[in-house]
Each structure stands twice: as C-alpha cells, then as structure tokens.
C-alpha cells in the first residue's frame, strides 16, 4: 500500500491536513507575541531604596554597567552601616550591630527579592522596579 492509496482509504481529507497544520502553527502565536512583549519591558529601571524607621534616606540607581561605590549611613547614636553598590546589585558590607545578619545576607538585585534588613538599626534596603514587576506594585 502506497501513500496515495492510504490517503484514499483513510478518513482524512486534504483540507483536514491543512486545518491541522494551520492549528499547529497558530498554537505558537502566543509564544511569539509574549516574547516580543517581554523584550520591550526589559528597559525597566531598578532602584534600591534605603529606609530607616520607615523614612526614605537614599535611593540608589541600579544599572547593569553602573559604577561600584560605597555609601556609609551613620545616625546620631553612632550606629553605622557601610553599603556597597556594584552595577545592578547592592549589599551591606559592614555594620556595627551585634548579630551581623545584614552583612551575611549578601547581594540583592531583583525587584521583590527579600530585602536586606538590619533590625538593631531598623534599616531596610529593598529593590524596586519602575515597570511594576514586583508583587503588589501599581503602574499609573
């Protein structure tokens, strides 16, 4: 039995093959559309926000090819935290608190990631994105 004879004896008609191919190809359409949409959103800017007692002290711009620098936060009581920014990531390098959990936390770079917290100094560093990709954010 050759292919032509198989087609003639089967229940598949020529238009059935065209419809199956068309549906198979169109099933990949959402992948293409959302892939194009995600590449357009990669231009979102990220910022690290330093808050002490709920008050914003400083905002650091996080850029992939950005500079590496340190920032020292010191309050009136003599408590200090040394913060390092390297490109698109940030970390706590040094602190004079007793437990040093904030220093051991390491680098953060993604919006919505668990923040760096120095509880003895009531200091928090969070990363926020301008495109609203973190949980609970609103775009106006």
- Type and span of the H or E element at 33: helix 29-40
- Stretch 55-66: mean pLDDT, rounded? 90
Q: In terms of Cα–Cα distance, which of 113, 127, 119 is closest to 100?
A: 119
- The H or E element containing residue 62 is strand 55-62
pTM for the model stands at 0.63
Q: Which two tokens stand for residue 69?
A: 């620098």
pLDDT digits 0-9 by tens, 6-57: 777 777 777 888 999 999 999 999 988 888 776 655 556 889 999 999 899 9
Label residue 135 by pLDDT band (50, 70, 90): low
Contact criterion met (CB below 8 Å) for 137 and 95: no
∠ at Cα 36 (29, 88), nearest 5°?
145
Phi, psi of 42, deg, nearest 5: -70, -10
Residue-wise pLDDT for 86-117, tens only, equals 988 999 999 998 888 999 999 998 888 889 99
Measured distance CA(116)–CA(54) in Å, rounded: 14
Please tell me the predicted confidence (pLDDT) of residue 21. 94
* Amino acid 138: pLDDT: 46
pLDDT range class, residue 68, cuts 50, 70, 90: very high
């Amino acid at each position: 039995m050759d292919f032509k004879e198989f087609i003639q004896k089967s229940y598949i008609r020529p238009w059935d093959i065209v419809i199956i191919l068309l549906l198979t190809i169109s099933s990949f359409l959402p992948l293409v559309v959302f892939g194009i949409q995600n590449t357009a959103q990669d231009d979102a800017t990220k910022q690290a926000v330093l808050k002490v007692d709920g008050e914003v002290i400083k905002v650091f711009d996080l850029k992939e090819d950005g500079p590496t620098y340190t920032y020292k936060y010191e309050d009136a009581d003599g408590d200090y935290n040394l913060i390092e920014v390297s490109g698109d990531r940030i970390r706590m390098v040094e602190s004079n608190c007793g437990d040093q959990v904030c220093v051991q936390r390491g680098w953060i770079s993604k919006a919505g990631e668990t923040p760096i917290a120095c509880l003895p100094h009531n200091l928090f560093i969070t990363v926020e994105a301008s495109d609203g990709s973190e949980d609970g954010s609103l775009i106006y």
